Structure 1
C-alpha cells in the first residue's frame, strides 16, 4: 500500500493568494487613476510597489512546494534519476511557454501576418493540447493526434514569426525567457539541488547563500558583462531567481523537519521564522544604500526583503489554515493553488475575446476604486473559470 500524498494546506492557499494577486496586478494596465504603490516601480527608482512583490512571492512558493513534490515521488518509488527526468521535462515545458509568450511581446504583426492577440491564443492553445492530462477513457490515438496538432501549430508559429521594426526584423528567438521561463530555470535548479542533496538543510543553505552571493557580486560589477558565464547566470536572474526558490525550499524543509519532531510547538516555528524574517529584512534595508530596492534590477535588497515577507506570510497562513482550520475561507480561490498554470493562461483568452470583439467598459468602471474592484472581479472570474475547466476537460500535468 502506497503512502499518502504529503500536502501542506498553507502552501496551496499561499500559492492561490499569490496567483490571485498576479492576475490582479497584471490587469492594472487596463485601469487609470489608481495608487502608484500598487504598480511596478520604475527600474531607476529605489523602492517597490505591490506588483514588485508578487513574482518573487510566487518563486518562493515554487521552492516551498519542491520538498513535498519530490518526497511524494520518492514515496511512489521513483529514483533520483526518474525524479530528475521529470524536473527537466517540467522545466523545458515552462521554458517553451515562456519563450513563445515573450515573442508575442515583440511581434511585428504585419510582417508575421498574425495579430499579437491571435499569437497568444494559438500559443496557449498549443500549450494546453500538448501538456494536458487527458482522461484515461480517451483513446490513445486521439491524444497523439491532439498533441501532434499542438506541436505543429507551435512549430508553424515559430517559423512565421517576425519581430522588431523596419529593416531590423528578427526571427523567433529568446528575447528574454519570460515569466514562465524564469520560473522554469529557477525551479529546475532548485529541484535538482534538492533531489541530489537528498534535501539536506546544509546543502540548501549553501545553494541559497551562493545565489545571494552571485546576485551581490553581479551588482558590485565583479562579474563579466558578456560571454559564456553571463549567458549561464542570466536565466536565473544572476542568482536572484534561485535565491527565492532555494530559499523557499530551505524554509519548507526546515519546517517539515521541525513539525515532525515529537512535541512540536508552533510557537517555536514563529520564533525561528520570525527571527529569520527580521534578519532578512534588516539586511535588506541595511544594504539599500548600496543597491537600492528594485525588482527591475533584481537587487539583493529586494531579494532579502521579499523573502522576509514570504516567511511571515507563510507563518500567518499556516496558523490560519492548518492550525485554525479555516481553509474553507479560501474555497473560492482554491483552483488557483492547484490549477495555477491554467489560471495564468486564461487571461490571454479573456483579453483576446474582449479586444477582438471591441468590447470596452466605460471609463467610470476603469478608474480609481471602481476600476480596482473590476480587476479584482476579473481575477476571481479567471480562477473560477480555470476551476470549472479543470473539472471537465483541462488539467495541465506540469
Structure 2
C-alpha cells in the first residue's frame, strides 16, 4: 500500500477512455434540475423563504444560494476526467489550451447576451425581451451544436455564419433601460462559470494529475477569497475579473478538481470505504472552516464569502459520496434515467426555460393562481424542471446537442 505522502507527490494514472462515472453525471443533472427549479420560483406566491436567495447584506443561505456553487464544484470534478480522456485520444497541451480558451469565450458570450436581455429597453431596441432571449439562444445552438458528421460542410458553415450575424445584429441594435449600449454589465451565471472554468482548467492541464500542485492552488484561491473578503487585495489586481481575483468561485471549481483527482486514485485501487471516510472527514473540516470564517465575513452568496465557499464545497462533496454509493456501487443509475440528459447536455437544458417562458407569454398562456401558490406551485416548478430535462433528452435524440 502506498504511503500517504505518495498521494501528493506522484501523478495519478488517468482512467481509461471507456470509464464513465455515472454519479458525476447524475449529480450534475440533479444540480441543473434544482437550478431550473429555483430560477422558476419568481413565478410563485406564498412559498417558504428558505427556498429563495438570501437578500444582499443578510448573513445566511437559502436553497437557491447552494445550487450555483454546487455546479461550479461539479465543473471542477469533470475536468480531470475530460482532460485525461482527451490526452488519451492524442491531444497535446496546446490543443487542450485552445479548447479551454474557446470554451471559456463561448460561455462568456452566452452569459453577456443573456444578462443584457435582463435589462433591455424593448421600445428603444425594437425587440421584445423574450424574443431577444429566444433569438440569442437559437444562435447559441446553431453556433455550438454538435453537427452530425454526415452534415454537408457548407450547411454547417452557413448555420454558423447566420448565428454569428444574428448575434452581431442583436448586439448592435441593443439599448438598455438607461439607454446604455450592449456591454458586459455583469457576466451572468454562464459568464461566471466561464471565468471560473478558465483558470481551473488551465491549472489542471499543467498539473498533470499531481495532487500536491492542485491542493496548493486550491489553498491559494481559498486564501485569496479571505484576502478579498478582508478588503486587502491590492488595487494592482483590479484588471483581473472579480470572478477570478475574488478567489471564491475558482476555489469552488478547484475543490472539485482536487476531489476528482483523489477519487480517481482511490477508485483505481478499489478503496471505496477509505475514500468515503476521507471525503466525509474533509467535509467536516470544510464545515468547521465555514463556521470559523463566518465570524469574520459572514455567510453570503452575493458577497461570495469564504464561509460560502467552504460550506457549499462540503455539501457538494457529501452529496457526491451519497450518489456514488447509490449509483455506481449500488447499481441504481436507472432510477435517474429520466433526468440524465440534464447532466450530459447541461447547457442545452439550461437554455430550455428561455424558450418555455417566451412560448407561454407570447401565446398568452396563463396558469390559474392555484397552480402558482404554495405547495401546488412548488410541485409545478418541480414538474417544469423535469419537463426541461425531458425536452433536452428529446432534442438530443433528434441530433440537437450543444458541444463547446
TM-score normalised per structure 1: 0.96
**1:335 offset after TM fit, Å?**
0.3
Which runs of 5 or more structure 2 residues have no equivalent in the other structure? 1-14
Task: Give the structure 2 partner of residue 71 of structure 1.
Answer: 84
C-alpha separation in 1, matches of 2:399 and 2:264 = 34
Task: Give the structure 1 partner of residue 322 of structure 2.
Answer: 316
C-alpha separation in 1, matches of 2:231 and 2:257 = 28
Equivalent residues in 2 for 1:150-169, closer than 5 Å:
150-165=163-178, 169=179
- Determine if the alignment matches structure 1 residue 108 to structure 2 residue 121: yes
Instruction: Please say which of residues 288-297 and 3-12 is displaced more in the overlay.
Output: 3-12
Task: Give the structure 2 partner of residue 122 of structure 1.
Answer: 135
Q: 2:258 aligns with which of 237, 246, 250?
A: 250
C-alpha separation in 1, matches of 2:132 and 2:248 = 30
Q: How many residues align?
A: 390
C-alpha separation in 1, matches of 2:387 and 2:379 = 12
Equivalent residues in 2 for 1:173-188, closer than 5 Å:
173-188=183-198
Report the CA distance shift for 1:3/1:252 in structure 2 as closer, same or farther (over 3 A): closer
Secondary structure of the residue aligned to 1:32 is coil
C-alpha separation in 2, matches of 1:3 and 1:211 = 30
TM-score normalised per structure 2: 0.95
Secondary structure of the residue aligned to 1:232 is coil
Secondary structure of the residue aligned to 2:247 is helix
**1:228 offset after TM fit, Å?**
5.5
Equivalent residues in 2 for 1:22-41, closer than 5 Å:
22-41=35-54
Q: 1:300 aligns with which of 306, 313, 316?
A: 306
Q: Deviations over 1:235-276 (max 9, x none)?
A: 336111101111000000011012212xx3322112101110
Q: 1:140 aligns with which of 132, 139, 153?
A: 153
Please list every run of at least 4 consecutive aligned residues from structure 1 whose deviation after the TM superposition is greater than 6 angstroms: none
CA contact (8 A) 1:366 1:372 kept: yes
C-alpha separation in 1, matches of 2:184 and 2:238 = 15
C-alpha separation in 1, matches of 2:158 and 2:233 = 48
C-alpha separation in 1, matches of 2:16 and 2:250 = 30
**1:199 offset after TM fit, Å?**
2.0
Instruction: Please say which of residues 102-111 and 2-11 is displaced more in the overlay.
Output: 2-11
Q: Deviations over 1:352-377 (max 9, x none)?
A: 01111111111111000000000001
C-alpha separation in 1, matches of 2:19 and 2:92 = 18
Task: Give the structure 2 partner of residue 231 of structure 1.
Answer: 239
C-alpha separation in 2, matches of 1:75 and 1:141 = 31
Task: Give the structure 2 partner of residue 57 of structure 1.
Answer: 70
Secondary structure of the residue aligned to 2:361 is helix
C-alpha separation in 1, matches of 2:237 and 2:61 = 29
Secondary structure of the residue aligned to 2:19 is coil
CA contact (8 A) 1:177 1:235 kept: no
- Determine if the alignment matches structure 1 residue 361 to structure 2 residue 374: no
CA contact (8 A) 2:276 2:321 kept: yes
Task: Give the structure 2 partner of residue 384 of structure 1.
Answer: 390
C-alpha separation in 2, matches of 1:372 and 1:18 = 17
**1:123 offset after TM fit, Å?**
0.3
Secondary structure of the residue aligned to 1:287 is helix
C-alpha separation in 2, matches of 1:208 and 1:132 = 33
Q: Deviations over 1:292-336 (max 9, x none)?
A: 110011000011000000111111010000100000000110100
Q: 2:273 aligns with which of 241, 249, 267?
A: 267
**1:393 offset after TM fit, Å?**
3.0
Task: Give the structure 1 partner of residue 3 of structure 2.
Answer: none
Equivalent residues in 2 for 1:329-344, closer than 5 Å:
329-344=335-350
Q: Deviations over 1:52-103 (max 9, x none)?
A: 0000000000000000000000000111111111111111111110011011
Which runs of 5 or more structure 1 residues have no equivalent in the other structure? none
Task: Give the structure 1 partner of residue 285 of structure 2.
Answer: 279
Task: Provide the alpha-carbon RMSD of the alignment.
Answer: 1.3
Task: Give the structure 1 partner of residue 217 of structure 2.
Answer: 207
C-alpha separation in 2, matches of 1:231 and 1:111 = 32
C-alpha separation in 2, matches of 1:3 and 1:215 = 35
CA contact (8 A) 2:111 2:188 kept: yes
